């Protein structure tokens, strides 16, 4: 699938979201076949885990949102509303994000 790549390392790829929610909206994915965060944390190598976390910080700095603030979003499973069966983190910023979640009534 074609993408607008913004960062790549041995274990991680970051690219722009095709339907951005804010001026900065980048997806960061591990190159390994992981579906959820808990699976990644339990089975990825230490090198993959460190690379992934560092890549998220690098994307925030490169995209210019580290100073003003940004949101990291990551959904797992049915109740987390995961739509794509591959672990990914959204780095979203460049404009105020608003409240994290609406409270249930």
Catalytic residue IDs: 88
Q: Measured between alpha carbons, how far is 76 from 83 in angstroms, rounded to an integer? A: 9
Burial class of residue 82, CB neighbours in 10 A (0-12, 13-18, 19+): middle
Q: Would you put residue 69 in left (φ > 0), alpha (ψ -120 to 50) or beta?
A: left
Coil vs helix vs strand at 51: helix
């Amino acid at each position: 699938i074609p993408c607008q790549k913004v960062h790549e390392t041995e274990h991680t790829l970051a690219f722009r979201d095709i339907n951005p929610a804010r001026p900065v909206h980048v997806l960061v994915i591990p190159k390994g076949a992981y579906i959820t965060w808990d699976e990644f944390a339990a089975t990825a190598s230490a090198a993959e885990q460190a690379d992934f976390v560092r890549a998220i910080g690098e994307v925030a700095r490169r995209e210019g949102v580290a100073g003003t603030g940004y949101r990291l979003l990551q959904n797992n499973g049915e109740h987390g509303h995961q739509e794509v069966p591959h672990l990914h983190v959204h780095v979203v910023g460049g404009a105020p994000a608003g409240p994290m979640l609406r409270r249930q009534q």
